[in-house]
């Protein structure tokens, strides 16, 4: 099927904005982008001559399975304290609450323009509901296991899932964090990711408590692991920063590293990172990912919502606005690249840019009549709570009012 979309403006994410043009999509793939509207006849024509179009947003880090935790947690002074609060309320969720949360969260993301998703999935039973939510997605199998003796069994479980579910969904592997995954398990999961050609992602250098734990073997995370009987007696702190620890294992450069609030100059060793603006704000972080330096070094940085355990909504338009507030030295044009092209590059999606050969994952914003401002400012307008046009793989979907 061939579709023609006439638009007022288009942010391609691979060139200057195009005005008053048309876009041809054939069987879900972009065939042509033209700076003028032709008389060409196609099976379907959409008149979006009062819209700004752009690639759909890519939420590069989320946990849809935790959406039902909305309003159940509050920022604690201690990160370990927040984890202590999270564990019982998460365990107490019924299956029904969790499923409704996933649907609600997915709906909120879609309404606000998310077409691509990287989700950390903690239970195999959640692969179908999250994978089936309709996004272009990577489902990261989230693994926790700090005791060395569990490493082999946990890696085997991941391999079984890669074999049984890998043809159904695009899977990735997510060792949860350096304070919750043993060195041995990190190495085994890295090997599996290489053997199966899948992406690896982890929460890294999120807090000073993590740094204290990995550098010195001290602080509230030690007590948390001890209380959970997860700390091996003979465990020795690696005596380096979390990023340098993963670097010493030879796996930092294989990672999509999430958060990295305490990274120093080691950011140069990252292959890709994800910044979670509203989660950062929710925790009241004063340190965060050196986004400006990373972009200057040519390292792609995506944006993520993280979960409702550390956010008050999964609305992606709010994420880009908070990114704009937290990153005064990063332009709105660059924030939109992080929200689209970089996220797609990091996750190996054939989308995120509007050019021939890319998939038709698009969003649109209805413009005020006679709009004269910068096109890049439109998605940041504070009154916008949702997108006005939404398309995945060349198929448009209704935007609820």
Q: Which residues bind Zn ion (CB under 5 A)?
A: 306
If one counts every other C-beta atom within 10 angstroms of the C-beta of residue 14, the result is: 14
Distance, CA of 169 to CA of 160 (rounded, Å): 14
**Which runs of consecutive H residues, i.e. helices, occur in 251-392?**
277-282, 291-296, 316-326, 332-337, 343-346
Task: Report residue 400 as tokens.
Answer: 């609820």
The residue count of the chain comes to 401
CB nearer to Zn ion: pick between 52 and 58: 58
Decide: helix, strand or coil at residue 304.
coil
Query: With respect to Zn ion, which residue has the nearer C-beta, 12 or 307?
Result: 307
Written as six digits, the tokens of 192 are: 């599996």
Taking the least distance from each CB to Zn ion, the nearer of 176 and 384 is 176
| Nearest distance from C-beta of residue 32 to Zn ion, angstroms | 39
Angle at 195 between CA 340 and CA 302, to 5 degrees: 15
Nearer to Zn ion, 121 or 252 (CB): 121
- Nearest approach, Cβ of residue 58 and Zn ion (Å): 16
Judge contact between 130 and 215, C-beta under 8 A: no
Cβ proximity to Zn ion, 11 vs 141, nearer residue: 141
CA distances from 95 to 65, 83, 90, 99 (A): 10, 21, 11, 6
Q: Decide if 214 contacts 249 (C-beta within 8 A).
A: no
Q: What is the DSSP letter of 205?
A: S
Sort residue 26 into left (φ over 0), alpha (ψ -120 to 50) or beta: beta
Q: How far is the CB of 40 from Zn ion (least distance, A)?
A: 45
User: CB neighbours (10 Å) of residue 50?
Assistant: 15
395 vs 374: CA distance, rounded Å = 28
Give 306 or 324: the residue with its C-beta nearer to Zn ion. 306
Smallest gap, in angstroms, from Cβ of residue 82 to Zn ion?
Answer: 12
Residues whose CB falls within 8 Å of the CB of residue 197, separated by 6 or more in sequence, listed in order: none
Which phi and psi (to 5°) does residue 323 adopt?
A: -60, -40
Q: Give the angle subtended at the CA of 181 by the CAs of 260 and 101, to the nearest 5°.
A: 75
Residue 43 corresponds to which tokens in the numbers above?
Answer: 């099976």
| In the complex, minimum distance from the CB of residue 44 to Zn ion, in angstroms, rounded to a whole number | 39
For Zn ion, the closer CB: 51 or 61: 61
| Residue 61: CB minimum distance to Zn ion, A | 6
> Is the Cβ of residue 140 or residue 375 nearer to Zn ion in the bound state?
140
Would you say 266 or 306 has its CB closer to Zn ion? 306
Tell me which residue of 222, 158, 214 sits closest to 191, measured CA to CA: 158
| CB 307, min distance to Zn ion, A | 6
Report the residue number whose CB is nearest to Zn ion: 306
Whichever of 212 and 274 has its CB closer to Zn ion, that residue is 274
To Zn ion, the closest distance from the beta carbon of 314 in angstroms equals 12
- Smallest gap from residue 57 Cβ to Zn ion (A): 17
Give the shortest CB-279-to-Zn ion separation in angstroms. Answer: 7
In Å, how far are 172, 202, 246, 278, 306 from 254, measured between CA atoms?
12, 10, 10, 26, 21
């Amino acid at each position: 099927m061939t579709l023609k979309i006439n638009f007022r403006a288009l942010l391609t994410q691979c060139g200057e904005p195009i005005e008053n043009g048309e876009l041809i999509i054939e069987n879900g793939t972009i065939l042509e982008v033209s700076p003028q509207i032709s008389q060409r006849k196609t099976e379907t024509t959409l008149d979006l001559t009062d819209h700004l179009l752009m690639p759909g947003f890519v939420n590069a880090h989320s946990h849809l399975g935790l959406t039902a935790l909305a309003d159940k947690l509050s920022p604690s002074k201690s990160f370990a304290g927040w984890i202590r609060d999270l564990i019982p309320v998460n365990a107490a969720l019924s299956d029904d609450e969790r499923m409704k949360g996933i649907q609600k969260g997915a709906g909120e993301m879609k309404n606000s323009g998310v077409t691509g998703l990287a989700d950390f999935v903690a239970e195999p039973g959640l692969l179908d509901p999250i994978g089936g939510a309709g996004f272009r997605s990577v489902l990261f199998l989230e693994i926790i296991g700090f005791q060395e003796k569990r490493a082999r069994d946990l890696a085997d479980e991941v391999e079984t899932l890669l074999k049984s579910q890998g043809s159904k969904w695009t899977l990735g592997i997510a060792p949860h964090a350096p304070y919750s995954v043993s060195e041995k398990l990190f190495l085994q999961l890295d090997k599996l990711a290489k053997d199966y050609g899948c992406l690896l992602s982890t929460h890294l250098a999120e807090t000073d408590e993590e740094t204290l734990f990995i550098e010195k073997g001290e602080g509230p995370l030690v007590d948390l692991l001890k209380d959970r009987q997860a700390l091996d007696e003979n465990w020795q702190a690696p005596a380096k920063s979390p990023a340098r620890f993963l670097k010493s294992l030879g796996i930092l450069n294989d990672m999509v590293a999430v958060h990295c609030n305490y990274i120093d100059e080691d950011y140069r060793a990252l292959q890709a990172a994800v910044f979670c603006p509203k989660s950062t704000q929710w925790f009241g972080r004063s340190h965060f990912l050196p986004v400006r330096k990373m972009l200057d070094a040519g390292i792609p940085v995506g944006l993520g919502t993280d979960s409702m355990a550390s956010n008050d909504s999964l609305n992606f338009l709010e994420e880009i606005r908070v990114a704009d507030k937290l990153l005064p030295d990063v332009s709105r044009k660059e924030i939109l690249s992080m929200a689209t092209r970089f996220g797609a590059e990091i996750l190996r999606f054939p989308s995120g840019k509007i050019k021939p050969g890319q998939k038709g994952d698009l969003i649109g914003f209805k413009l005020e009549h006679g709009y004269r401002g910068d096109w890049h400012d439109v998605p940041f307008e504070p009154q916008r709570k949702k997108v006005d046009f939404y398309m995945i793989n060349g198929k448009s979907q209704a935007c609820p009012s």
